[in-house]
Amino acid sequence: MKAILNLLRQDLATALRDNIVLYMIVSPLLLALLVRLFLPSVEATGLTIALSGQVGDDLTAALEDYAVVEIFDTDEEVVARVEQNDAVPGVILEEGEVVLLFEGNEPEAIIEAGKAVLTAVTAPERLFEYEARSIGESSSLFREILILSLIMLALLLGGVASGFNIIDEKDTRAVSALAVTPLGLHRYIIARTLGAVIVASLVTTGTALILSGTAINYLLLTIAIAASTLIIAALTLTVGGFANNQVSAIAVIKVLMPIYLALPIVSLFVPERWQLIFYPLPNYWQFQMLRSIFFGPQITGSFWMALLLTLLLSWALLLIMLRMTRGRLMPAGGG
Amino acid sequence: MRRFLSLFMQDLVVVSRNALMWVVVGALVVIIMVVLFLIPADYDLEDTYYFYDASKTGYLEEEARRDGLEDEFILGSLEEIEEAVQADPGSIGIYFSDSGERPQITILHYGTISDQNLNLIAAALEEPLRPYYDLETGDGYRVEYLRPFSAPVPQNQNAVPPLLAFEVIVLGFLMAAVLLFQEKADGVNRAYRVTPGGTSPYILAKGAVFSLIGLFYGLLMIMPTVGVSLNYPALILALILGCFFYTCLGLVVAAFFNNISEWLFVGIALLMVNMTPIISYGWPSFSPAWITYIPSYPIIFGLREILFPTGRDLTSLYIYLAAAAILSYLLCHLVVHFKLMREGR
Amino acid sequence: MIEVKNLYHDYTGKGKYAVMDVSFQIDEGEIFGFLGPSGAGKSTVQNIMTGLLKLQRGEVLYGGKKVSEIRRAFFNHIGVSFEHPNLYSKLSGLENLRYYAGLFDVPTRPPLELLELVDLREAANRKVAAYSKGMKQRLVFTRALINNPGILFLDEPTASLDPVTAAKVKNIILQKRSEGATVFLTTHNMYTAEEICDRVAFLDEGSIVAMDSPRALKLKYGEQSVRVEYYENGNVKSKLYFLAREEDRRALQEIIDSKEVQTLHSQEASLEQIFIRLTGRELSA
């Protein structure tokens, strides 16, 4: 234990000197803050219509019931606005007739929406009465993807940071000095993993606080982070074991990120009957654990089942990684 | 010229021996496979709707089936609607009845939907049902297309512009940093400083290397996925200028860090911010001003226009890219000169 | 001629000078050595002279022209060999030289010929990452010669080299001098300085404490000395005494009278001893 704690203290001293800790913690938190700030506006996005000032106040007021209206002085300005990259239809008056303008490359949904709105505002009477009922907190697919991506990224960063420590020691041959102490390979790996989990916990908790405030169960989140320890260890071994220097570490991370982050997100778009493709992946179940914490177990089933599968599969993954990185972490003989 | 060529060849050889290049080759193969075989051509990113038509007439259900809606989205009770929406919180449930004076719609959803969007949903449901109730369909307007209505692009091919923007063009941002840190680790900058080399050939050589790699990478990605009938001059210009721009940016950012582990977290964060225009690409209604200022925003839409032309004039894109390349080069020159070509005090 | 006048350099900006009031000049075709322990300021002076460090205070003149006025073309005529090898590890030795040669506007020597000079011909196509420390040092040295420089700046050129290779490197330096090159050499190896330098300057804690040819320094500061080894409490001890000093003569006599003397050798003053005498420190400290 003493040797493990000593190595952790050393890592902290090095990291603080390098500003790495600062970048490591601040960057994801800043990202989380940005997401928190702009996510509501993304989810509230609706139709925007560019309007010529000549169409009249009545039509303008009617359109404002359906869309965000941007008013321009001339028809040419409306045309220029419609031609911009985003999908904004325009409304002008041409010889007394209302003209709905499209560029021609808008998604069909925007075109249908534009037509529906003009039909509604130019019709003499409404057909429906309607009411809207919200049955829970906001949970769009988009929100899920963004929030869970950031949380998974925060967990990944812990493994990456620790992996870099291993690489640094290999690069400078400092690991040879460690190999001739009583530390041993297993305690070395434990120390590196503990360091990774500490970083991951800090960044994940901070990210969760920013994104979800007090709306989630932090006890479950702590359990989820603890259950992710073996995955984090596997990530640490992958980065630290397969890369011999910082430059090749980037190559390893470039392979790792899509597998770790993108595959679970892709699973959100895959029909139920094909989900079993993802079942062998421990990060898939880690993702389901986090989904049930942030978006409710009704989506995913039991948190505990996902936790159990995370533990079992990540244990298997760790064993594989230990075998594959044998001899690549410490000079042979480190027991 | 000789210096530039020497540095160009040197950088090309060093980059080609970097493990990251093999990852890039692997990524190219994976991307082509994914676009061709995994992404469906007609995937729909729009909201999912569940309907229950409790009216005596059944007009809504009739219209929904006529529209091709599958049975799994046409439900039999309000409770089923509620369950469906709870299981899929991103969806919207529509309960339709005509028991009152006027037909009534109840919209069930998670979170909050603005009044405007609720009116929009109601208007979208109203339009096809008006003829059933002998109401005027509101044809007091006409529709005009500034350009001919272009055929929809298959969703799998629609993924190519973002892949070009966020995988190919930004390759220089990542690789320039990697190359720079490799040079710092090797200490070769010191040797370079005592040659007639200078800052300009140093930057231009790297810019040229990654522009060339980006060009080949991009073309190899596009040809199998989109086809070979392309606007090559426009595409080549966009790829080269875009890659050069991001290479210069990559050098600017990396020059402030001592090694990769310091740079990594900031680099990833910047790349993720750079990716936010993908939201506007997928949901074009979302284009707040701040997102349009991110360089990848005009690039991603410009690439889409190049690959899937709709008649839009691309002059503004070329001007933007040229200006971006020049300004980024000037900034890069300043930063590299003071941070890399000099030592300490 | 190279002139350095009243050079100062402060890394920290807090008045702690790494180089303090250093002045010297180097004649064309001369091998000038800077001798001093690690941290004395040798590399700092060299870096200022080569433009790697900004000139803070003082003057450096090349043929009357200030170093601050020097343009990039100046680098066509100098060669710099660094103490710590700085090579592209992913390139071979040959490639390192070839691409480096491409940076100069002047004719350059064939890389293979240079590699042959330092017995690296067979390793020419091997990546530098696989080179030993000594091989890298040799490659760095030959790289400094690739543009046929008129001025050579060599920082510890024989460090990490075995005696045979070190001798080769020294011969190359002497050859360059005979071709008219001016050499500025920094080292803490007194043998190298004695062997090849026309003049040396002792640098300690940023200041020059003595400067002249090795022979003149020995004549001026050197003293005959005697090294005596003797038994004391079961251990063999060694001491050096300078015969010109009264107290040393007395101490030597005492040892001869009271201890079991094993060996007794007289020695000519070496530069190291002169350095110790002048500064109280060893060269390899």
Which residues on A lie below 8 Å from B284 (Cβ)? 85-87, 106-107, 110
pLDDT, residue A333, reads 45
Question: Which residue among B14, B192, B194 places its CB closest to the CB of C90?
Answer: B14
Which residues on C lie below 8 Å from B182 (Cβ)? 89-90
Of residues C190 and A138, more confidence is placed in: C190
Band of residue A299 on the pLDDT scale cut at 50, 70, 90: low
Would the CB atoms of B116 and A120 count as touching at under 8 Å? Answer: no
Q: Beta strands A48-52 and A90-94: pairing type?
A: parallel
From B16, which residue of chain C is nearest by alpha-carbon distance? C90
Which residues on C lie below 8 Å from B194 (Cβ)? 50-52, 75, 78, 80
pLDDT, residue A311, reads 94
Whether C167 contacts chain B with CB within 8 A: no
- Is residue B50 packed enough to be buried (19+ CB in 10 Å), middle (13-18) or exposed (0-12)? buried
Question: Which residue among A44, A101, A157 places its CB closest to the CB of B265?
Answer: A157
Would the CB atoms of A85 and B292 count as touching at under 8 Å? Answer: yes
pLDDT, residue C115, reads 95
Whether B37 contacts chain A with CB within 8 A: no
Give dist(CA B341, CA B197) in Å, integer.
10
pLDDT, residue B109, reads 85
Chains that touch C (3 or more CB pairs under 8 A): B
Residue A103's φ and ψ, nearest 5 degrees, are -75, -40
What are B188-209's pLDDT values in tens digits? 998 999 898 889 999 999 999 9
Q: Considering only residues 235 to 264 of chain B, which have any Cβ-Cβ distance to chain A shorter than 8 Å? A: 258-262, 264
Sheet holding A97-102, edge to edge: A68-72, A48-52, A90-94, A97-102, B141-145
Query: How many residues in chain C?
Result: 285
pLDDT, residue A123, reads 80
Give dist(CA B183, CA B179) in Å, integer.
6
Would the CB atoms of C89 and B6 count as touching at under 8 Å? Answer: no
Of these ranges, A206-220, B49-63, C261-275, the one predicted with the greatest mean pLDDT is A206-220
Q: What percent of chain A has pLDDT above 90?
A: 22
Summary mean pLDDT of chain A: 84
Question: Which residue among B6, B344, B345 places its CB closest to the CB of C102?
Answer: B6
Would the CB atoms of C90 and B196 count as touching at under 8 Å? Answer: no
Which residues on C lie below 8 Å from B189 (Cβ)? 86
Question: Which residue among B9, B17, B190 places its CB closest to the CB of C52?
Answer: B190
Q: In this structure, what DSSP letter does residue A53 have?
A: G
Would the CB atoms of B9 and C54 count as touching at under 8 Å? Answer: no
Q: Beta strands C57-62 and C65-66: pairing type?
A: antiparallel
Would the CB atoms of A134 and B110 count as touching at under 8 Å? Answer: yes
Q: Considering only residues 191 to 230 of chain A, which have any Cβ-Cβ distance to chain B shorter than 8 Å? A: none
Whether C76 contacts chain B with CB within 8 A: yes
pLDDT, residue A4, reads 76
Would the CB atoms of B195 and C56 count as touching at under 8 Å? Answer: no
Question: Which residue among C56, C88, C100 places its CB closest to the CB of B14?
Answer: C88
Band of residue C103 on the pLDDT scale cut at 50, 70, 90: confident
Give dist(CA A55, CA B160) in Å, integer.
40
Q: Under a CB-based contact definition with an 8 Å cutoff, are residues A131 and B106 in contact?
A: yes
DSSP-assigned states of every residue in B14-49:
HHHTSHHHHHHHHHHHHHHHIIIIIS-TT---SPPE
Give dist(CA B49, CA B70) in Å, integer.
11
Chains that touch A (3 or more CB pairs under 8 A): B
Would the CB atoms of B3 and C102 count as touching at under 8 Å? Answer: yes
Give dist(CA B13, CA C84) in Å, integer.
23
What are C131-178's pLDDT values in tens digits? 999 999 999 999 999 999 999 999 999 988 888 889 999 999 999 999
From B338, which residue of chain C is nearest by alpha-carbon distance? C54
pLDDT, residue A249, reads 87
Question: Has residue C284 got a pLDDT over 60?
Answer: no
Residue to mutate among B127, B135, B137, with most A CBs inside 10 A, is: B127
**CB neighbours of residue B140 within 10 Å:** 15
Would the CB atoms of B178 and A105 count as touching at under 8 Å? Answer: no
User: Which of A253-262, B128-137, B284-293, C115-124 comes out lowest in average pLDDT?
Assistant: B128-137
Would the CB atoms of B193 and C52 count as touching at under 8 Å? Answer: yes
Q: What percent of chain B has pLDDT above 70?
A: 95
Q: Looking at the complex, report in whole angstroms how far the Cα of residue B15 sits from the nearest Cα belonging to chain C.
A: 9
Average confidence (pLDDT) over B28-56? 80
Q: Looking at the complex, report in whole angstroms how far the Cα of residue B257 sits from the nearest Cα belonging to chain A.
A: 10
Element (H, E) at B3: helix B2-16
Angle at the Cα of C53 (from C49 to C54), degrees rounded to 5? 95
Q: In this structure, what DSSP letter does residue C280 have?
A: S
Question: Has residue B327 got a pLDDT over 50?
Answer: yes
Interface of B with C (CB under 8 A): 2-3, 5-7, 9-10, 13-14, 17-18, 182-183, 185-198, 342-345
pLDDT, residue A301, reads 60
Provide the total of helices (H) and of strands (E) in chain B, helices listed first: 16, 4
- For residue C144 the two structure tokens come to 């400094």
Question: Has residue B8 got a pLDDT over 50?
Answer: yes
From A158, which residue of chain B is nearest by alpha-carbon distance? B265
Whether C50 contacts chain B with CB within 8 A: yes
Question: Has residue A180 got a pLDDT over 70?
Answer: no
Question: Which residue among B13, B190, B196 places its CB closest to the CB of C103?
Answer: B196
Longest CA pairwise span in chain B (Å): 89
Of these ranges, A276-290, B130-144, B241-255, the one predicted with the greatest mean pLDDT is B241-255
Question: Has residue C207 got a pLDDT over 80?
Answer: yes
Summary mean pLDDT of chain C: 88
Average confidence (pLDDT) over A130-144? 77
Average confidence (pLDDT) over A166-194? 77
Residue to mutate among C12, C88, C136, with most B CBs inside 10 A, is: C88
Would the CB atoms of C90 and B345 count as touching at under 8 Å? Answer: no
Would the CB atoms of C104 and B191 count as touching at under 8 Å? Answer: no
Whether A250 contacts chain B with CB within 8 A: yes
Give dist(CA B92, CA B77) in Å, integer.
15
Whether C221 contacts chain B with CB within 8 A: no
Residue to mutate among B38, B63, B104, B264, with most A CBs inside 10 A, is: B264
Whether A251 contacts chain B with CB within 8 A: yes
Q: Looking at the complex, report in whole angstroms how far the Cα of residue B154 sits from the nearest Cα belonging to chain A.
A: 12
Would the CB atoms of C143 and B7 count as touching at under 8 Å? Answer: no
Of residues A162 and A141, more confidence is placed in: A162
Would the CB atoms of B89 and A140 count as touching at under 8 Å? Answer: yes
pLDDT, residue A14, reads 67
Q: Under a CB-based contact definition with an 8 Å cutoff, are residues A78 and A69 in contact?
A: no
Average confidence (pLDDT) over C99-104? 86
Would the CB atoms of B110 and A135 count as touching at under 8 Å? Answer: yes
Would the CB atoms of B126 and A119 count as touching at under 8 Å? Answer: yes
